[in-house]
Amino acid sequence: AQARVEQARAQLANARARAALLTLTAPSAGLVLTRKAEPGDVAAAGKVLLELAEAGETRVYATVDEKNLRLLDKGQKARGVADAFPGQPFDAELYYLAPAVDPQRGTVETRFRVASPPPFLRPDMTVSVETVTGHRDATLVLPSEAVRDLDGGKPWVLVARDGVAVKAEVAVGLSGIGRVEITRGLSEGERVILPASGALEGDAVRLREPKQHKAGGLQVPQGMSR
């Protein structure tokens, strides 16, 4: 009889151990994003069953070109814009700069806290972030696409002067998401021709007001995009 009792105890312990393996416990509180297994499926080592978004503060992960690293510092205020909601920017703060540069891409990982996330913000959304490292009032600003060879040594724009497309070398200053400051080479009111027009230097051009981009004054933050 004693042997049967010991056998039953062993079976009970084994059943409890097996039952414990049937319970999945998340490493932290969070929100289930996707379920990749159904009741009755066989679990295996390395197989993903659930994907979770950890609860807590909202963070934005972004990469910045290493040449802009000198402009960044922890604690800087930033502005985020989700591609799906371009007209609803939100505030963020830079709290992490990776200690090393990605040698393949020449970029540095950065992380931002979002203290008051907008209700539309979701995990894995595409977001652009810009940090304000300086500003100037009443400066000349152009869409980034209007400045040719912007990443090269001699940026320039195509300007309409006396009915002809003329190449004008410019000097650039601060830049933000989709815009850049022009510090030299243009005067306020000059008409800049976008690359999408297909116009080349020396072409005759005729201006049409709705499609013009006139240099004007704006505050321009130093920006970066994911």
Q: Which residue segments constitute the domains of the chain, with CATH numbers given? A: 2-54 (no CATH), 58-131 (2.40.30.170), 139-224 (2.40.420.20)
Prediction pTM value: 0.51
* Over residues 30-55, mean pLDDT: 80
Which pLDDT score, from 0 to 100, does residue 94 have?
A: 95
Please report the pLDDT score of residue 221 as a whole number. 42
Question: What average pLDDT is seen over the chain?
Answer: 83
pLDDT given at position 120: 92
149 near 155, Cβ under 8 Å?
A: yes
Query: What's the rounded Cα separation, in Å, for the pair 175 and 13?
Result: 66
pLDDT at residue 209 in the model: 65
For the segment 65-123, what is each residue's pLDDT rounded down to a tens digit?
Answer: 998 888 898 999 999 999 999 889 999 999 999 999 999 999 999 999 999 999 999 88
Residue 212 has pLDDT above 60, yes or no: no
Picking from 128, 130, 131, 132, the residue whose alpha carbon sits closest to that of residue 226 is 128
Name the residue among 98, 185, 118 with its Cα closest to residue 146.
185
